Chain A
Amino acid sequence: METFTYTHFPAQSSVVHIALFTSVGNAKDIRARIVKASTLGGPEGDAERGAVNFAFIDARLVTSRLHLQTAVYQAILSEAQGSLRTKTVHSEILWALNPSNNISEAIRRYGVSDSSSALLVVRIGSPDLKDVESLMRAIVDGTLSPLADLAALTDWSTVKKYYKLNGEPAIKEVAQDPEREREIVDNIIVSSVAMKSVQA
């Protein structure tokens, strides 16, 4: 797990914890817990919502660490400015990652699905929140891996399809050079996430 501090954001959203879990064995259970937590009432419901208070992101659709950081940054910005399009700063990350404005599509594509085997788990919180890694491990049954492993997990063809990049001159130009193509796809996608709040 890695932790990044943003001193210029409000304290309650100034610390970002990001972990990559691979060989995840309980994606189906995680999804079921998230769904259930949202309907439970009373103290039990509060506790369960606390336990799943993360963004769970399918790692296949994330192209780089900057891609995720950019979505996180824009989500905190929306929260700080009172302009969240979704219920929480964590679901806002999923919204930021998806090219369209359709919230349920964002959650379906970028959130945890029954077939997810690698998950990026994000917790945005205050500096007082301690031992976040244990909180993550309590939910996710998987292998905690360095964020650098992300590069090997990306499903580039699905990413290109969601962002409608296949016909674009920038991509056609580098058809012979897969490594360069990935750099360009990543740059376009990071840029798209960064400007989603003003996209045409």
Chain B
Amino acid sequence: MALALTLIAQGAEAKVYRARLHADRAAQDVLLKHRFHKQYRHASLDASLTRSRVAGEARALIKCLRSGVSVPGIRMVDAPNGLLAIEWIQGSSVRFLLGSSDEPLDEPVDGDLPVSDQPQEHQHPLEPYGVSQDALMVLIGVEIAKMHLADVIHGDLTTSNMMLRLPSSSPSTSRLVLIDFGLAYTSSLVEDKAVDLYVLERAFASTHPDSEPLFTSVLNAYQTRMGKQWHAVARRLDEVRLRGRKRSMVG
């Protein structure tokens, strides 16, 4: 499958590894995502579903790359085997950096930092990144706006699906990186953009306590970057929230 594999995470649909594709001293690590076979799905249906998921994720990534949205570069696609390799991002998920409510702060800060630079036990996880919490929210809002301006809908915006690069790893590149485009698709519809934002709002509320001001900062930055397109999305977002509230009252 690849060289030097380390399992990073195992989700419901995919196993995620840190790996090397090329036996080359100059080679950079990649993140290898393996969408594995699902026992309960019909074999040929499973194969074509896996193939189209991998293809869809790769197509969304290349569209983002061309549009200047900060996402990992693509390094290898083997759709028949459900494999996608992307650039390894040296850093942590935003979920970890905000200190999610239901998880201890035990995500390892990755990288080749000398031991003395490793965060101390009681240090705030954002400390090594040189970015304040509010500045991080601005980065998130801007990147989502760039993605929506390119008519890419993420489909699963959560704080787990965005990462912050460590400053040492690449000084000139954008710090916030959107990841996990497995459910992404192309659409210019205001409805789809509003739902994308609503999903993130819910994710903030359920994962991070007292996150309302944080999400407000995200939206402010998003609004600025969206320019003329903001008003239509804002109006629709209010409608989507209302629908969500009604649904939860009924359910």
A-side residues, CB < 8 A to B, are: 2, 4-8, 65-66, 69-70, 73-74, 77, 81, 165, 168-170, 172-173, 177, 180, 183, 187-188, 190-192, 194-195, 197-200
Contact = CB atoms under 8 A, between A and B. Distances in A.
24 contacts: A4-B23, A4-B24, A5-B23, A7-B23, A8-B2, A66-B27, A69-B22, A70-B75, A73-B21, A77-B78, A168-B66, A168-B67, A169-B67, A170-B65, A170-B66, A177-B172, A180-B172, A188-B73, A191-B73, A192-B62, A192-B74, A194-B58, A194-B85, A198-B79
In the complex, which of the residues A5, A70, A173, A198 has the most CB atoms of chain B within 10 Å of its own CB atom?
A: A198
Contact of B58 (A165, A169, A195): A195
A31 B217 CA distance: 60
Contact of A191 (B51, B74, B146): B74
Contact of B59 (A65, A165, A198): A198
Contacts of B21: 69, 73
A73 B76 contact: yes
Given A69-B24, A169-B146, A198-B54, 16 more contacts: A4-B22, A8-B1, A8-B3, A65-B24, A73-B21, A77-B78, A169-B68, A169-B150, A170-B68, A180-B172, A183-B173, A191-B65, A191-B73, A194-B76, A194-B85, A195-B58
B77 interface: yes
Contacts of B27: 66, 69
Interface in B74-100: 74-80, 85, 87
B172 A183 contact: yes
A165 B66 contact: yes
**Among all A-B residue pairs, the 6 with the closest Cβ atoms:** A198-B55, A170-B68, A191-B74, A195-B58, A169-B68, A194-B74
B17 to A, nearest CB: 13
Contacts of B59: 195, 198-200
Given A169-B67, A188-B65, A190-B75, A65 B172 contact: no
B184 to A, nearest CB: 13
Size bracket of the B interface: 35 or more
Nearest to B87: A187
Interface string B43-59: 00000000100110011
A198 B68 contact: no
A70 B65 contact: no
B67 to A, nearest CB: 5
Interface of B: 1-3, 21-24, 26-28, 51, 54-55, 58-59, 61-62, 65-68, 73-80, 85, 87, 146, 150, 172-173
Contacts of B146: 169
Contacts of B80: 81
Nearest to A147: B26
A190 B78 contact: no
A194 B61 CA distance: 12
A165 B66 CA distance: 8
A2 B27 CA distance: 13
Contacts of A69: 21-22, 24, 27
Nearest to B85: A194
Contacts of B23: 4-7
A192 B59 CA distance: 9
A190 B30 CA distance: 13
A187 B65 contact: yes
A198 B77 contact: yes
A171 to B, nearest CB: 8
Contacts of B62: 188, 191-192, 195, 199
B70 to A, nearest CB: 10
A11 to B, nearest CB: 15
Contacts of A187: 65, 73, 87
A93 B79 CA distance: 18
Contacts of A194: 58, 74-77, 85
A31 to B, nearest CB: 29
Contacts of B61: 191, 195
